[in-house]
Amino acid sequence: MEKVKTGTTTVGIVTKEGVVLATEHRASMETFIAHKVAQKLYKLDENIGMTTAGLVGDLQVLVRYMRAEINLYRLRRNMLMPVGAAATLLSNILNESKFMPYYVGLIIGGYDNRGYHVFSIDAAGGAIEDKYASVGSGSLFVYGVLEDRWHDDVSLEEGIELAIRGVNSAMRRDAASGDGISVAIITKEKGFVELTKDEVEKRMKKLKLK
């Protein structure tokens, strides 16, 4: 099992106007780069997104599970699932299997009628809400950037830049992270919107990042 664990860098940030989620693209098996285009950023509904780190098979199952449950919630209640409810649902799924655990580290972020939220969720089902969170092998480098630059009045544009700076920092120092950055924003006005590859590259160029 150790040989198929993956390294990753993911981040979620709460801003005044929305939530920013970001990941890099590399899937690794110890020192071997297994894939360079791994998807680690997922839309669960118009108001909720998730980043994934860990064992790829476990992650894909959990994404399908969460999408199905969130869709059922919306159909039955004719409303979007609150972010906290989605975090609790995922936490319960993981906690029920903690003796045969999913090898994962997750971030759920989005908006509801109480505002914008980011939750980090561990493999045993522990869910903690915070203003920003990072999960994966490169998370230490992301936290170095966020601790230095995040503030209570951070704007959505600043949040996007912070996420890109953080993931880029991890890609430069963490061998298990690399091969590009995915970024999505979640706002009440536009819902879940993923930035194009060109948009991310333009922002990196503007920030003078490599």
Which are the catalytic amino acids? 8
DSSP structural state of residue 37: S
Q: Is 181 left (phi over 0), alpha (psi -120 to 50) or beta?
A: beta
Q: Is 108 exposed, middle or buried (0-12, 13-18, 19+ CB in 10 A)?
A: buried
Please, are residues 45 and 194 in contact by the beta-carbon 8 Å criterion?
no
Residues near 77 by beta carbon (within 8 Å), at least 6 away in sequence? none
SS3 of the chain: helix, strand, coil, percent, to 5: 35, 30, 30
DSSP structural state of residue 55: -
**H-only helix segments in 17-138:** 56-77, 83-96
Distance separating alpha carbons of residues 189 and 207, to the nearest angstrom = 27
Please, are residues 167 and 138 in contact by the beta-carbon 8 Å criterion?
yes
